[in-house]
Structure 1
Amino acid sequence: MPTKFCTPATETIRHSKSLSYESQTATWLLQDGWEVLLPMIDHGLKTDVVISDGYSFYRIQVKSLETSEETTWVENKWGDAPVDFVVYFSRTSHWGYIMPAFKESRRRLNAPGHIRFHQDAKPFIKAFNRL
């Protein structure tokens, strides 16, 4: 059995957690039949996942939150980038929200039009298909 002898740096752990939510989103969308593309760098266009139905492309930003409060305010971290949807995952509970990207600087996580999902493939896809 392999043994880990080093502890990754705090910044590496934080980045790895974020990447795991992006990978989870991509996996669930692949399972639903979407073509999924992963940008190598997302700093310019703020796009973590791109999906396509063969005709149209949609840009998705994935975020995670250290809260179990669904009434929390979330910030627009993508600015004016052409993001179509944003997926938020709670790191402390087993739920998330998916929503169309918003233009204002911040919005309540559970605002009207934001769709809650249980962090599992079927509830996520059901929520995504309601957009």
Structure 2
Amino acid sequence: MPIKNVNRTEPALNHYKHISYETLAASWLTEDGWEVFMPLVDHDKKTDLLIADDTSFYRIQVKALNSMDEDIDVENKWQDKIIDYVIYFSMQGSWGYIVKPFTTNKAKLQSKGHIRFHQHPSNFLKAFKRI
């Protein structure tokens, strides 16, 4: 059995947890037949994933929320950026939301048009096809 011989600092562990949700979303989208690209550097572009079919590209921001509460306000961290979708994952629950970027500074996660999914590939892909 492999043994992990490293103790991550709290900031590093938090970073790894957030990145794992980007990888999870990439895996599910790849499973559905999308071409998925992950930027080597995501400095100030707010693009965690770039997905493509034969004719279009879509920029996706992935956010991990340390909350069980779905009735929370989420911040707009892409005000002056061009992205197509934001995928929120709950780190404590088994749910998430797919949303189109909103223009206000904050929005309710459960706002109209925000699509909830259960953190399972088939449920996520059904939700993604509804957006």
When normalised by structure 2's length, the TM-score is: 0.96
Gaps of 5+ in 1: none
Distance in 2 (alpha carbons) for counterparts of 1:127 and 1:3:
37
Deviation at 1:13?
0.5
Q: Encode CA deviations 1:72-122: one digit per residue, 9 max, x unaligned.
A: 000011221101000000011100000111121110000000000000000
Q: Which residue of 2 aligns with 1:7?
A: 7
Distance in 1 (alpha carbons) for counterparts of 2:15 and 2:29:
21
Distance in 2 (alpha carbons) for counterparts of 1:57 and 1:103:
21
Q: Encode CA deviations 1:36-84: one digit per residue, 9 max, x unaligned.
A: 0001111221100000012110000000111111110000112211010
Q: Encode CA deviations 1:1-41: one digit per residue, 9 max, x unaligned.
A: 33333311111101100110000000000000001000111
Q: 1:35 corresponds to which letter in structure 2?
A: E
Q: Which residue of 1 aligns with 2:63?
A: 63
* Paired residues of 1:80 and 1:103 also in contact (CA < 8 A): no
Q: What percent identity do the matched residue pairs reach?
A: 48
Task: Please list every run of at least 4 consecutive aligned residues from structure 1 whose deviation after the TM superposition is greater than 3 angstroms.
Answer: none
Q: 2:39 corresponds to which letter in structure 1?
A: P
- Which secondary structure does the structure 2 equivalent of 1:87 belong to? strand
* Paired residues of 1:76 and 1:106 also in contact (CA < 8 A): yes
Q: 2:53 corresponds to which letter in structure 1?
A: D
Distance in 2 (alpha carbons) for counterparts of 1:4 and 1:45:
33
Distance in 2 (alpha carbons) for counterparts of 1:13 and 1:71:
26
- Matching of residue 110 in structure 1 with residue 110 in structure 2: yes
Count of matched residue positions in the alignment of Structure 1 and Structure 2? 131
When normalised by structure 1's length, the TM-score is: 0.96
Gaps of 5+ in 2: none
Distance in 2 (alpha carbons) for counterparts of 1:3 and 1:21:
23
Distance in 2 (alpha carbons) for counterparts of 1:44 and 1:129:
28
Distance in 2 (alpha carbons) for counterparts of 1:104 and 1:52:
27
